[in-house]
Amino acid sequence: MLLRRVRKHVIDQNWFAVGIDFVIVVIGVFIGIQVANWNSSQFERREEAAIVERLQSDFERVKSDADASLAFHIRMTEDIRTLLRSVRSGELKDDDIPAFERALLLGTVVQTSADRAGSFTELMSSGRGNIMRDRNLLHALVDYEDFLGRHALAQAYYVDTVLLATDAYTGAFEYNTDMRLSEDIIILLDHGQRFVSYDFEALAADQDFHNAVEQLLFVHSGLTMWRERISVRVDDIQKKLAASER
């Protein structure tokens, strides 16, 4: 209908009416584009809100795992220091026995955790990262992913160091054959359950064992540092997610 009217106005050389028709067309196109943009923007905002919700859920799990791993390596660092101090001095105090035996049992363990947020990995692999309006949050997430890459390299180095020290370390004592590892093992150790057998005087005289203990102290101290840095970043991201939700 509009096309027929424009054609008639042209034939009649009614240029004023043609101008009015043109303005009507332009305004209609403009409104159509604005409505489409608004619909697209609303869809992206809903999508962003869903992503933020998923990130919050992911980082709650990441935080829990990261804190557990950090607590383990802090404790192992302290226990291995007790072990090293005891064998160097040639004296094992009664109060140090739980830490000493925890170090023997778990000193070669590297506790890993699931540090990556699957929702963010999915977002970036889809090329939709720009949907995040909070650039500070986006930059923190990208920085965190980059840091995890560096952490993975460091952790691989520490694992190799543990493997090199394992024979000299575990060959100096015996694990009890009826031992069953579980999440409660540290609690059981704290309550006096024995999982290892050893000759303290032999350990104190074994220089290769001393060297292995020093290597494991280096490993757990280093992993504690890395885990602390991960925890700081996770805390910062959680704060930014909470602010973004508001």
Kindly report, residue by residue over 196-210, the tens digit of the pLDDT. 889 999 999 999 999
DSSP code per residue over 187-228: HHHHTT---EE--HHHHHH-HHHHHHHHHHHHHHHHHHHHHH
This prediction has a pTM of 0.77
Across the range 32-40, mean pLDDT stands at: 53
- The answer to whether residue 177 scores a pLDDT higher than 70 is no
Q: What was the pLDDT predicted at 126?
A: 76
- In this model, does residue 18 exceed pLDDT 50? no
Across 105-125, average pLDDT: 87
DSSP 37-106: HHHHHHHHHHHHHHHHHHHHHHHHHHHHHHHHHHHHHHHHHHHHHHHHHHHHHT---GGGHHHHHHHHHH
Per-residue model confidence as pLDDT tens digits over 47-95 = 777 888 888 999 999 999 999 999 999 999 999 999 999 999 999 999 9
Residue pair 237/52 in contact by the 8 Å Cβ criterion: no
What's the pLDDT score for residue 205?
Answer: 96
* Mean confidence (pLDDT) of the chain: 82
